[in-house]
Structure 1
Amino acid sequence: MSTIRVVWGSATASTEMASYDAALADAGVENYNLVTVSSVIPATADVEAVGTAPDLGPAGERLTVVQARATVRSEGRASAALAWAQSDSGNGPGLFYENAGEADPESVESRVLEGLAGGQTLREWVFDEPETRIETVRGEPDGYATAVVLAAYGESEPIC
């Protein structure tokens, strides 16, 4: 059985890319090439909210993720949220949904849960109660702020 780790981070920096890279570092996934997938949790996976990723393999490898990301300029607020639910008491397939933006955490959480509920209606599975993780950061004058929440699928894999 593989493990999907939910990780999160936030940061501020002088450029948009630097704030994103620093937020990934805060989550422990800065050294991987992230490959984004849509949202389905395999039936064989355990989902664990861990905060910061452990060592998932050598630097530069590919890491499969579902990612919520928000970046704002100046003194705005970036909020990113990831919600998930599995079926069969955590032993069946499930879904991730992500939402992010320049909004308060409550609004982002409401939107991500609404999206998850919509995705659940498209499937004939009986879902457990959803879980959520929200990351929020306020920007600074003349800079950027980024919040991320990611679901990292298993270990990294070589690209070439």
Structure 2
Amino acid sequence: MMNRIHVAGGVGVAPTEMAAYDAALADANLHNYNLVRVSSIVPAGAAVERVDRAPDLGPAGNRLTVVESRITAPPGASDDPLVAGLGWATGPGPGLFYEATGRDPTAVRRELEDGLDAGSELRDWALPDREFEVTTARPEDGAWTTVVTVAVYGESEPVL
């Protein structure tokens, strides 16, 4: 599984901002790890796989390398949807992830497409294969709501 990148989304609702984030990670089965965010490069030879929930990737407390898209709304926020998306582009060599958030799923998808186009052009890489994962939820009344879409690189590693 080392050359596999899993992409999963989650939604969390809780009484505090951090608890909502934790609940969203739990929904994606990533809540028991220490997440280390990286920018956007898909290593050459990696397979990116969309999953409903991340598989078991090692012991609790281990470190996971991720690209993360996250949006949170406080209690009483407008009921416009919360949208967290990742897009990825691959080809014969390395590829790219691009993350975007917002309140309009169509606008987030367009931003993902535009970001992948710009990143490919910047690097002069041919990246013909494109995929997207967009997680959407409406904020809950009276609670914090967080939406995440996370790409998880390989398996976890010990922190210590």
Q: Which runs of 4+ in 1 moved over 4 A?
A: none
Aligned counterparts, 1:23-102, within 5 A: 23-73=24-74, 74-76=76-78, 77-88=81-92, 92-101=93-102
Offset of residue 44 of structure 1: 2.3
Amino acid at match of 1:45: A
Partner residue, 2:7: 6
Distance 1:131 1:140 in 2: 29
The alignment partner of 1:130 has SS state of strand
Offset of residue 107 of structure 1: 1.1
Partner residue, 2:114: 114
Tell me, which stretches of 5 or more residues in structure 2 are unaligned? Answer: none
Size of the alignment, in residue pairs? 156
Offset of residue 75 of structure 1: 4.0
Distance 1:116 1:104 in 2: 19
Offset of residue 119 of structure 1: 0.5
The alignment partner of 2:117 has SS state of helix
The alignment partner of 1:135 has SS state of strand
Tell me, which stretches of 5 or more residues in structure 1 are unaligned? Answer: none
Offset of residue 105 of structure 1: 1.0
Amino acid at match of 2:88: W
Q: What is the RMSD of the two structures over their aligned residues, measured on CA atoms?
A: 1.2
